[in-house]
Chains A and B, each alone.
Chain A
Amino acid sequence: MTLQHRFVPLVLLWVFALPLLSQAGGAPASGDGNGTKRRDRQSAVHQSDGERKFAQNCGRCHTPPESFSPHISATIVRHMRVRASLSKQDEEDILRFLNP
């Protein structure tokens, strides 16, 4: 077994260069493909617990859906409570953010 280091510099370049580029862009913080409704919420000055937890947990794996029916918001959050091992408090805060 021999570790091959040929591509290590390329990996390091990729890892460190892109965050620097993102900071140099100077654009607003949010922007990973959310729908209009959610972007509007994220632009609010005050960030609720639910909004913060939504951004911190859901965005770890995937971009949020552009839109969805309010009739399934509780089902989505319960599904994610199991999948992402959220606490009951996290579930309630995120549901309050999705359905204020």
Chain B
Amino acid sequence: MWNSWNNSTNACGSNLRASTLLFGALLIGALFAAIQAAAQSTPLISGGTAFLTNTSGGNTSYLPTVMPLLAAPLGSHLLVEGRATLLEDFYPSGGSYSHIHYVALSYMQLNYLVSSHLTVVAGEYLTPFGSYNERLTPIWIGNFQDPPLSYGLGVGTGSSVGGMLRGSAVSTSDYSIDYAAYYSAASSNQNFSSQNSWGGRSSIYMPRQRFEIGASFARVTSQEKTNNVGVHAWWGPADSSFKLRSEYDHGTHSQGYWMEADYRLSHFGGPDTAIGRLEPVFRWQQAFRNSPDSSDGLPSTDTREVDAGLDYHLPHEVRINTSYSRQLSSTGDRNIWQTGIVYRFLFPAWRSK
């Protein structure tokens, strides 16, 4: 993820101020529009801030990061929400350190809750493909700093610009089915970049078994027309803090899968003990290159990677992440060491009476 951010940073540099002003304007507008909100519907600011380190090939980068999210209800049917990323990357260069900025909107969308089972979304939104993009990209949620190798399949830049229909098709005590269908226009604006594409995702969740399985499809028509499909399965047994997440994605020129497991050791004395605050995390993934394509975000050759980490949950929403990754490919093997301290925040946008 950091590499892709770094690559885009040069192009983004001249628009840094414009991007910041845009997010600020949207933030202020949403806050003023929601100022008459009900007692429990005060706009909120949430997200995470982190100080991350990444050591690869003997070079260590330092990445202070803030990822704030704004959510502001407007009446009983509307919700404005947006998320931004502000990142400073300090990296070794010529015997010293250089640094670059990165400021961008992840999404800024307007949600209209039409009925119990339908929400209409307009604006820039996270592309609903697979399970990672919408659910695990916040820095205070994801177990690892880097997304899976196959993350780029189906999601493109991560965001789409256009419209989306989504919601819960059916929800009972035995199962629930959700859906999302979207259309995205191509946009080269650096604050709202997206591909021309359409697609969707549907999944079924069985709450008693805590098991979810879903399928995604995305057809990208920006340049070369490509189809992407994905399936994901998540399982987190009740009465246990163990979680298993997995996903397989297939594109025109590449494919890949990942399996991730984590287990908070809270059963050993409780969640607030020294042992109970530990959370071993593990991920195994492979990416396969079927034919050359420099735009899908996957490695240029077949690559497999194992990630093993240990997180420690401190009080007051602070988490320490550590991980070691071994990446193997024909272009060279490498070790990746990553550490970070992450703070999650959640508070009202202003003090309510």
Chain A positions near chain B (C-beta within 8 angstroms) = 1-4, 7, 10-11, 14-15, 18-19, 21-23, 25-29, 31-34, 52-53, 56-57, 59-63, 65-66, 68-76, 78-79, 81-90, 95, 99
Given A25-B267, A33-B266, A66-B316, are A1 and B44 also a contact pair (CB < 8 Å)?
no
A contact residues around B41 at 8 Å (CB): 72, 74-75, 78
Q: Say yes or no for B135: interface residue by CB 8 A criterion.
A: yes
B72's partner among A31, A60, A75 (CB-CB below 8 A) is A75
| Distance in angstroms between the alpha carbons of A57 and B173 in the assembled complex | 12
Contact partners of B244 in chain A: CB under 8 A: 15
Provided the pairs A79-B79, A81-B113 are in contact, do residues A32 and B271 lie with their beta carbons within 8 angstroms? Answer: yes
In the complex, what residues of B have CB within 8 A of residue A72's CB? 40-44, 346-348
Q: Find chain B residues with CB under 8 A from A11 CB.
A: 259, 261, 282, 284
Are B276 and A31 touching (Cβ within 8 A)? yes
Does B36 lie at the interface of the complex (its beta carbon under 8 Å from any beta carbon of A)? no
Q: Can you spell out 27 A-B residue pairs with CB atoms less than 8 angstroms apart? A: A1-B288, A4-B286, A15-B244, A18-B280, A19-B240, A22-B240, A22-B267, A27-B267, A31-B270, A32-B241, A32-B266, A60-B234, A65-B346, A70-B40, A71-B40, A72-B43, A74-B73, A75-B44, A75-B79, A76-B44, A78-B41, A78-B71, A78-B113, A82-B121, A85-B168, A87-B116, A87-B117
Do most interface residues of chain A lie in helix, strand or loop, or is the interface mixed?
A: helix
Instruction: Give the number of A-B contacts (CB < 8 Å).
Output: 170
> A73 to B270, alpha carbons, bound, how many Å?
27
Residues in B whose Cβ lies below 8 Å from that of A27:
266-270
From B71, B121, B236, B276, give the contact of A79 (CB < 8 A).
B71
* B64 lies within 8 A of chain A by Cβ: no
CB distance from A85 to the nearest CB of B (A): 3
Asked if B304 and A74 make an inter-chain contact with CB atoms under 8 angstroms apart, the answer reads: no
**Interface bin, chain B:** 35 or more
Question: Across the interface, which residues of A come within 8 angstroms of B39, CB to CB?
Answer: 70-71
Q: Complex formed: what's the CA distance from A87 to B101 in Å?
A: 40
Residues from chain B with a CB closer than 8 A to the CB of A26 are 267
| Residues in B neighbouring A88, C-beta threshold 8 A | 113, 115-117
0/1 per residue, B141-181, Cβ < 8 Å to A? 10000000000000000000000001110010000101110
User: Is B239 interfacial (CB-CB < 8 Å)?
Assistant: yes
Task: Provide the residues of chain A in CB contact with B40, threshold 8 Å.
Answer: 70-75, 95, 99
Q: Considering the chains assembled together, what is the distance between the CA atoms of A63 and B264 in angstroms?
A: 11
Closest to A99 in B: B40
Whether the pair B236, A87 counts as a contact (CB closer than 8 A) is: no
Q: Kindly supply a per-residue 1/0 record for chain B positions 250-273, scoring 1 wherever the CB is within 8 Å of any chain A CB and 0 otherwise.
A: 000000000101011011111100
B134 in the interface, Cβ–Cβ < 8 Å? Answer: yes
Is there an interface contact between A60 and B240, defined as CB atoms closer than 8 Å?
no
B81 at the interface (CB under 8 A from A): yes
In the complex, what's the smallest C-beta–C-beta distance from B348 to chain A, in angstroms? 5
B268 and A15 contacting across the interface, CB-CB below 8 Å: no
Q: CB-CB < 8 A to B286: which residues of A?
A: 3-4
With A18-B261, A60-B210, A60-B236 given, name 8 new contacts (CB 8 A).
Answer: A1-B302, A27-B269, A56-B210, A71-B348, A74-B40, A75-B37, A78-B113, A85-B178
Which chain A residues border B280 with CB–CB below 8 Å?
18
Q: Which residues of A contact B242 (CB under 8 A)?
A: 18-19, 22
Q: Which residue of A lies closest to B34 (CB)?
A: A75
Which chain A residue lies CB-closest to B240?
Answer: A22
Tell me, in angstroms, the Cα distance from A66 to B240 when the chains sit together: 19
Query: B282-300 CB contact bits vs A (8 Å, 1 = yes)?
Result: 1010101010000000000
The answer for the CA separation of A53 and B172 in the assembled complex, in Å, is 11
Min distance, Cβ A63 to any Cβ of chain B, angstroms:
8
